[in-house]
Chains A and B, each alone.
Chain A
Amino acid sequence: MKINKLYLLLILVALVAPSLVYPVFLMKLLCFALFACAFNLLLGFVGLLSFGHAVFLGTGGYITGYLMLNTGLTPELGVLAGTVGAGLLGAIYGKLAVKREGIYFAMVTLALAQLAFFFYLQAPFTGGEDGLQGVPRGELFGLIDLNDNFAMYYFVLAIFIFGFWMVHRTVHSPFGQILKAIRENEPRAVSLGYNVNDYKWVAFIISSALAGLAGSTKTLVFQLASLTDVHWHMSGEVVLMTLLGGMGTIFGPLVGAGVVISIQNMLSGGELGNYIHIIMGIIFIVCVLAFRSGIVGEFQKLVKKNFG
C-alpha cells in the first residue's frame, strides 16, 4: 500500500515536471533511466554484468532512425521496430554470452558489442561517423504532432512507465524469483532442476529489448542516432548509473541516471569536457571502495537501521 502511494506521487511529479524543468533534459533523463533499469534487470537481479549493453541502445536507435527517415512510419511503430530489433540482437548475443560466467560474461558481451560497433561504423545505412541526422519525430498514431516538446515528453513518459512496469513485473514474478535464486546460488538453482542458461537468456532478451526501447525513444527525442550510443563508453556509463544508484534496487537506476546525467549536463561543452571522464572514474572508484549498495541501497540500510 505504502509503495503504491509512492508510485502515485512520483507519477504526479513526473506529470507536472515539464512546466518546471526544461522538457528535453527530462526526456534525456527518462531515456537513460529506462536504459539503466533495463541494465539493472541483468546486473541487479541476475548478477550478470553485461559490459556491452550500449549495443542494444544503439541498435534500437539506428533501426528507429533509419525507418523514420526512409519509410514514413508513425513514431510508435518506429519505436516498436527498434525495440524488436534490439531484442532479436539480444537473443543472438545472449545465447552466446550465457555460455560463460562472471568476468568472462562481461568480456564476451563487451567484445560482441565491439563487433557491432565496427559493423555500424562501416555499414552504408548508418551514416558512419556522422550518424543519422534529422530524424523526424513524426505524428503519434498519425494524430499528435510530436515536434511539440510537451507532447513528446508525455509520449516518452508513457514509454518509460511501461518499461519500468515491465522490469517491476519481471522482477516480482515467479520467473523473477528464479532469476534471484540464480544470482544468489547458481549451483543450487541448477540442482533444483532449473535450466539456468535458459532463464538467463530470457532475462537477457527482455533487458536488451528494453534497452532498445530506450535507444529508439532517445533517437526520436534528439532526432539523431550516432556511434556514441554504441560505443563502449556508453556501456560503462550505464554500469556507473546503476552502481551509483544502487544495483538490485528498483529505484536505484533512476537515481543513478539522474545524478550522472545532471553531472554531464553541468560539465558538458567547453573546457570541462575531459573532466567528465575523470569525475566518472573517481565516482566508480569511490562507489566500489566505499558504498557498494549505491545511493538508494545505502538509504534503505539507513532507514532500516533507524526505523526498522
Chain B
Amino acid sequence: MATIFGINLFALSGQLLVGLINGSFYALLSLGLAIIFGLLKIINFAQGAMYMLGAFFAWMALNYMGINYWWALILVPLAVGVLAILMERFLVRPIANEDHLYSLLLTFGIALVLQGLFTHIYGSSGLPYQIPAELKGGTKLPFMYLPNYRAWIIVSSLVVCFSTWWVIEKTKLGAYLRAGTENPQLMQGFGINVPLITTLTFGFGVALAAFAGVLAAPVYSVSPEMGSNILIVVFAIVVIGGMGSIGGAILTGLLMGVVEGLTKFFYPEASTTVIFLFMVIVLLVKPAGLFGKEA
C-alpha cells in the first residue's frame, strides 16, 4: 500500500476524488446562481429544487418513457430551462423592481412547493438510478481506483463550466449580456432585446442546475431533499467566492469540494461544517469574498 509520511495515499486520493465530484456539483450550482444573480440581482432560492428536479426528471424519463441517460442529459436541462423561463416570465418579472428580498422569498416559496410535491408523490426515501452501461467499470491507477462514471462527472462539468465562462467573458454574446446588466437602457437603445436576454439567461442558469441534477442521479439516490441540502452549502460557497466573477464561482466551488474532501480524510467530524467555518474566516478577513469586487 502506497504511503507518504504515514498517510494512506489510496484513501487520501479516494477522498480527494469525492471532493472533486462534490466540487463539480458545487461549481455548476454556484455558477448558475452567479449568472442569475449577475443579470437579475436575484438569489434563486429554487436553484436547489431545480437540481432536484433535474435528477427526478432523469429518473422519470427513464422509468416512464424509456429515455436513456444520454438523452436525459440533453433533454432534462432543456425541459427544466423552459420551466424556469415560464417561472421568470410569470412570477419573477412582476416583482423584478421590488426589493430583492422579495424575489428570494418568492423563489423560496417555489422551492417549498416543488419539494413538498415530490415528497408527496415519491416519498422521501430516495430512488436508485443506474449508471449508464457505457460508463460502468473503472480504471486502476497506481494510487487509486477511478470509476469511469466519476471521471465523467468531473470532466463533463468542467467542460460545461469553462465553456460557459468562455462564452460570457470572451465572446460578443457575452459582451451583450454583461452590458445588458450594466446599463439596460443603453442596450435597449442599441436595439437589443434586454428582457429576452434576461429571460434566456435565467433559463440557462437554472438549466445548469438541472444538468448537475442529471449528473448526480447515478451517484446519489434521487430524493426530494437532495436540493435543499446542497443549496445551503452552495450559498456558503457564494459568500466565500463573493459572486464577483463567473470564474470565481467555478473555482470556489471546486476548491470547496476539495477542502471538504481533505477534511473528511484528516478530521471527519468537521467535514459537514468545514465550508461554513471557511465562510466565517473569509467574512472576518475579506467580507466581500475571495473574488468579490465590492469593498
Q: Which of B208-232 contact A (CB under 8 A)?
A: 228, 232
A115 touches B91 (CB 8 A): no
Of A1-9, A147-155, A274-282, A298-306, the one contacting chain B is A274-282
Q: How far is the CA of A280 from the CA of B111 in the complex (A)?
A: 11
CA gap between A206 and B101 in the complex, in Å: 22
A239 lies within 8 A of B105 (CB) = yes
B91 interface neighbour in A100, A106, A277, A289, Cβ under 8 Å: A289
Cβ contacts under 8 Å, A99 to chain B: 283, 287
Q: Are B113 and A288 in contact (CB under 8 A)?
A: no
Query: Are A275 and B279 in contact (CB-based, < 8 A)?
Result: no
The verdict on A119 contacting chain B, using a C-beta distance below 8 Å, is yes
Residues of A within 8 A of B235 (CB): 107, 110-111
Residues of A within 8 A of B43 (CB): 103, 106-107
Taking a contact as CB atoms closer than 8 A, the residue among B94, B102, B109, B114 that contacts A283 in the complex is B109
Interface pair B106/A122, CB less than 8 Å apart: no
A168 CB, nearest partner CB in chain B, Å = 24
The smallest beta-carbon distance between A305 and chain B, in angstroms, is 22
Measured CB to CB, the closest approach of chain B to A72, in angstroms, equals 31
Check B112–A284 contact: CB distance below 8 A. Answer: yes
Which residues of A228-271 have CB atoms within 8 Å of chain B's CB atoms? 232, 236, 239, 243
A289, B95: Cβ atoms under 8 Å? Answer: yes
Per-residue B-contact encoding for A287-300, CB less than 8 Å = 1, 0 else: 11100100000000
Is residue A223 within 8 Å, beta carbon to beta carbon, of the partner chain?
Answer: no
A182 → chain B, closest Cβ, in Å?
Answer: 14
* Contact status A118-B273, CB under 8 Å: yes
Task: Indicate with 1 or 0, residue by residue over A71-113, a CB within 8 angstroms of chain B CB atoms.
Answer: 0000000000000000000000000100110111011101110
Establish whether residues B280 and A112, one from each chain, have CB atoms under 8 Å apart when the complex forms: yes
Does B171 count as interface, using CB distance less than 8 angstroms?
A: no
- With A96-B283, A110-B232, A112-B276 known as contacts, the answer to whether A281 contacts B104 (CB < 8 A) is no
In angstroms, Cα B292 to Cα A100, docked, is 12
User: A112–B277 Cα gap in the complex (Å)?
Assistant: 8
The distance in angstroms between the C-alpha atoms of A285 and B110, with both chains bound, is 7
Judge whether B236 is part of the interface by a CB distance below 8 angstroms.
yes
Contact between chains at B269 and A122 (CB < 8 Å): yes
Task: Indicate if the CB atoms of A232 and B110 lie closer than 8 Å.
Answer: no
CB of B167 within 8 A of chain A?
A: no
A282 closest partner in B (C-beta): B113
Task: Determine whether the beta carbon of A108 is less than 8 Å from that of B239.
Answer: yes
A side interface size, CB within 8 A: 38
Q: Whole-angstrom distance from the CB of A197 to the nearest CB of chain B?
A: 11
> What 1/0 mask marks residues of chain B from 258 to 282 whose CB sits below 8 Å from any chain A CB?
0000000000010011001101100
Nearest Cβ on chain A to B125's Cβ, whole angstroms: 13
Shortest C-beta distance, A68 to chain B (Å), equals: 27
Report which of B116, B272, B273 forms a contact with A281, defined as CB distance below 8 A: B116
Q: Across the interface, do A104 and B239 meet the contact criterion of CB distance under 8 Å?
A: yes
- CB-based contact B95/A274 at 8 Å: no
User: With an 8 A cutoff between CB atoms, is B172 at the interface?
Assistant: no
In the bound assembly, the distance between CA atoms of A289 and B111 in angstroms comes to 16
CB-contacts of A142-197 with B (<8 A): none
* Residues on the A chain within 8 Å of B280, using CB: 96, 112, 115
Chain B residues lying within 8 Å of A103, measured Cβ to Cβ, are 37, 41, 43, 100-101, 104
Q: How far is the CB of A148 from chain B (nearest CB, A)?
A: 38
Asked if B293 is an interface residue, CB under 8 A from chain A, the answer is no
A289 CA / B272 CA spacing, docked (Å):
36
Chain B residues within an 8 Å CB radius of A46: none
A49 close to chain B: CB less than 8 A: yes
Are A288 and B102 within 8 A (Cβ)? yes
Nearest residue, chain A, Cβ from B115: A277
Q: Which residue on chain A has the smallest CB distance to residue B237? A: A111
B104 near A49 (CB under 8 angstroms)?
yes
Find A280's partner among B112, B233, B276 (CB 8 Å cutoff). Answer: B112
Residues of B contacting A112 in the complex (Cβ-Cβ under 8 angstroms): 276, 279-280
Given contacts A103-B104, A114-B276, A292-B102, 11 further A-B contacts (CB under 8 A): A100-B287, A103-B100, A103-B101, A107-B235, A110-B235, A111-B235, A115-B273, A278-B120, A281-B112, A281-B113, A281-B114
Please provide the 3 A-B residue pairs with the shortest distance between their CB atoms, ordered closest to farther.
A284-B109, A277-B116, A281-B112
Residues of B within 8 A of A (CB): 37, 41, 43, 91, 94-95, 98, 100-106, 108-117, 119-120, 228, 232-233, 235-236, 238-239, 269, 272-273, 276-277, 279-280, 283-284, 287
A residues apposed to B, CB below 8 Å: 49, 96, 99-100, 102-104, 106-108, 110-112, 114-115, 118-119, 121-122, 232, 236, 239, 243, 274-278, 280-285, 287-289, 292
Sample of 12 A–B contacts (CB below 8 Å): A99-B287, A107-B238, A108-B239, A108-B283, A239-B108, A277-B119, A281-B109, A281-B110, A282-B113, A284-B105, A288-B95, A289-B95
